[in-house]
Chains A and B, each alone.
Chain A
């Protein structure tokens, strides 16, 4: 018995006898040559502005951001500027007959809040992409990086609004139909308006009136979808009578579909300790990575009843 007692004591004493290993953190260098990373979108919709984001990749040892102190719109602002963003590129979008020069805009003010946009916008009002047109993109940076892109504007989506009811009762279904497209994917999103006014302007609260926010990818030739509020165990104390159901139908070109839909859920590489990564896909972009796509939108809103 003595042996067993001694052994037990020994076993549990020694079970702690390990020597921790100090982690030796080292700098990571790579021979990577930075490339341009574009997110360009042409929109036929009056509410969604066409824009081009021009970013670049960073090497492993490059800093990601810089602390800036600046006077913006008359106020002193201190912020971290992303080093991914390329601010001095020449960005030209063309429909083959006319060039549209996009200009860099770093900030915007929305509801008295300052936001970093860091995007290239066209300041004129004559940019008017039309379905079926092919548009090109040219981005050149002072240090010699250059990409080109091409997108074909998708057909405009068309909700059959006359078939939608005048009001939507949250316990009922809603049959939504549209003009089918033979060659293009569409995406339909449904949600409620009041959610935008709960929380701040960016992190609005989708759980408000939960179960309403839904999304459906529409394959070519599909022509209808039955919407119903999902089962939701959260309280329903909101004032339904003042809310609206928003129905948003968006068509997209192949570049947009491939980047944001088809491969969005297919990370090229993932690892428990590393996270996700990829080789940087490019759709509609030559000479760099990213996407140059185009969308067209139709929307409708219906009062919600309870």
Chain B
């Protein structure tokens, strides 16, 4: 620790020595037509060796620019290069904002300065940025989906076709930090995971770290996916609409009118499935008097507003609302009369399921350019994940028989809910005060309220019975500070040390996560990377690990009596960017997990000591794990043909004393992904995605036996056997090879001058039967009805199917 403090002091001393000698040039690089910031634009002083890359907000800083005339050049893939000649006088700082015009004509080859600059700048390995074009052109399931595209990257494994959850280098989805404009999203899925919650139309870029991420990110031990929404068009009002098989999407954006020196932009994007509306309309048009209404839909919308108060201060408001809703209402009224007994009854019964689940987030960010070298971002956010299953049944009525009358009423309600309410305040400082150093520091306080509960209520006219068998309320506060420095020791050698210190309110300990990154440029186009770090996590999901299909996640803070979970990451990598736009990356990693907890899978209820106890969410197995692997990535970053080929060799093992070491369900030894997008003409694109992977582990049945059961009747207890499978070691067999090939076609057209696209998606074109798991049944002798032994068949995932849609722009 003492050495670390000395190091920081040294940086500050160097800063004061250098600070007065030269000028600093800073500013923003934006797209001319829309005003969107351009990340990783290359900004450099010609013939000087001085330069910088823009950050995700388009901001750049070039320090130590000597007096005199300099020529500054700004370039990035797909945009016209801009040059400007400046005069630096007496080390006076300059603020320059650039607007670059797009040169990209779809399908044409362009320079790859941006990609090269990104390669030069980024120290951390295992990082890939996906832009809008990649997301929109990759083959999709029904509609473009960020998670489906990320699933095709090396190191990312899938559990099944029905889930877009990300299993990254042995980490489960709860170990990934999924952020939308910096806000944590807890359940980023719709329809039980088939779709991710992010509307691709609104996404500007998604930054994915498969591991080894630096100290500025914390709280999770797996991967980082930071989704950055578009800021909105600062110049014109624009929009687009998209109709796919299941949903309609729309996006509107435009400038905020200038007022007393302020300016800004806004963007709103929304999506809703409409199959419920159509089915209900059809039912109405057919004059159906049925009570049936299609019960399910999901929606989401995102709002983003930027307001530049002056050149140094910007406020950004970001909001995301997304819900899945299952809404079932049945009601029935009956009237009857029995003339013989003179019995009359009027009855009303109702059955209601009201089940919404989803995320609501709000955030306000204040960016302050304190001086050209020091940028502060202060962020206040609230993210709420809510799952609430509310079931009601009631039966009531009145009766009369002769002169006697009466009434009755029975009602039963069942509530099951999990609410995670995350309130975060953080400040992050980015400082370019010392030549060849970029220092970042920050403070984050995160208060998370968990409320997991279950309630039953039964009532009739004279009695009410209320049960609350599960109530787990917790409040955790996670406070953390971080400091990291990116130090360009030489033009070829970059270090990125960092440290993150965390306090978790349920524990007495202080947790320290050291992070270290190193990058060495063997050549201008070839770099070696090494990363080592520790990553703590203070929350988990309490779902059974062998769940075949998962609709929702149950989040819990790490209990006070459980140790904080953590993982150590070790990554070695080589990265090569060829002159003809091919990126080749090879990485090997080892991850070690400690103090994981795995939910005990068993019966829901257990009676003990006069109380009904709900066990699934508070009984865990202590679990250890490791993951190791080798990943290869060939990525074509520009040109008429783009895409990547990724290969992953991976092994993940977990250890629970009950099972010993075993492969978790998501472990696949070999995975090959091929994703391609080719411009056949200026208007026609074809894209393809192919995935072949080793089968997933499953627990094989070895035989059958009779499980003995006892019926403890008070008169005469009895014992009997029920047939059960005798299973082998947990997950010791594997399902057959997974293979799926999807193809997408997209064509641009105009209709009375209105540009639009129409697209077709072919999913699983070979109609390969990919096994979700096996199902078993007895072979029956049709003559004697004897059960002749077991046979099995795969439970298939997606068959071949075709979807299509259109997307219009205005």
Residues of A within 8 A of B (CB): 3-4, 7-8, 10-12, 14-15, 17-21, 23-28, 30-32, 34, 37, 39, 41, 47-48, 53, 55, 57-67, 80, 84, 187, 189-191, 193, 196, 213, 215-217, 219, 231, 233, 246-248, 250, 259-260, 264-280, 289-291, 295, 297, 299
Contacts and interface: CB of A to CB of B under 8 A. Distances in A.
B712 A60 contact: no
A299 B603 contact: no
B778 A58 contact: no
Contacts of B774: 273-274
A39 B751 CA distance: 78
B714 A299 contact: yes
Interface in B56-102: none
B226 to A, nearest CB: 33
A269 B727 contact: yes
B48 interface: no
Nearest to B705: A57
B546 A276 contact: no
Contact of B767 (A14, A19, A66, A259): A19
Contacts of B709: 260, 264
Nearest to A41: B719
B633 to A, nearest CB: 32
A280 B786 contact: no
Contacts of A231: 458, 463, 465
Contacts of A65: 786-787
A184 to B, nearest CB: 15
Interface stretch (B131-139, B165-173, B689-697, B799-807): B799-807
A34 B703 CA distance: 8
B771 to A, nearest CB: 10
A55 B791 contact: no
A39 B786 contact: no
A32 B706 CA distance: 15
A60 B789 contact: yes
Given A7-B806, A11-B245, A274 B725 contact: yes
Contacts of B704: 57-58, 60, 64, 84
B796 A11 contact: no
Interface of B: 243-245, 278, 410, 458, 460, 463, 465, 546-549, 600-603, 606-610, 658, 699-710, 712-717, 719, 721, 723-728, 730, 751, 756, 758, 767, 769, 772-779, 784-796, 799-806
Contacts of B245: 11, 14-15
A266 B615 CA distance: 11
Given A24-B793, A60-B702, A187-B712, 18 more contacts: A18-B799, A20-B799, A21-B796, A21-B799, A25-B793, A28-B701, A32-B703, A47-B716, A53-B708, A53-B719, A55-B706, A55-B721, A57-B726, A66-B786, A84-B706, A266-B602, A280-B726, A295-B717
Contacts of A299: 714
A268 B727 contact: yes
Contact of A274 (B715, B775, B804): B775
Contacts of B609: 219
B218 to A, nearest CB: 36
A256 B794 CA distance: 38
Interface centre among A41, A196, A260, A280 (most CB of B within 10 A): A280
B724 A191 contact: no
Q: Which 10 A-B pairs have the closest CB atoms?
A: A277-B725, A248-B714, A246-B714, A18-B801, A32-B703, A32-B702, A64-B787, A277-B727, A265-B603, A57-B705
24 contacts: A3-B806, A7-B804, A19-B767, A21-B799, A27-B791, A30-B703, A30-B728, A39-B719, A48-B716, A53-B708, A55-B721, A65-B787, A248-B713, A248-B715, A265-B606, A268-B658, A269-B727, A270-B601, A273-B772, A273-B775, A277-B699, A277-B724, A277-B727, A291-B708
Contacts of A24: 769, 793-794
Contact of B703 (A26, A60, A260, A295): A60
A218 to B, nearest CB: 10
A278 to B, nearest CB: 6
Contact of A18 (B610, B794, B800): B800
Contacts of B767: 19, 21
B188 to A, nearest CB: 23
A212 to B, nearest CB: 10
A245 to B, nearest CB: 9
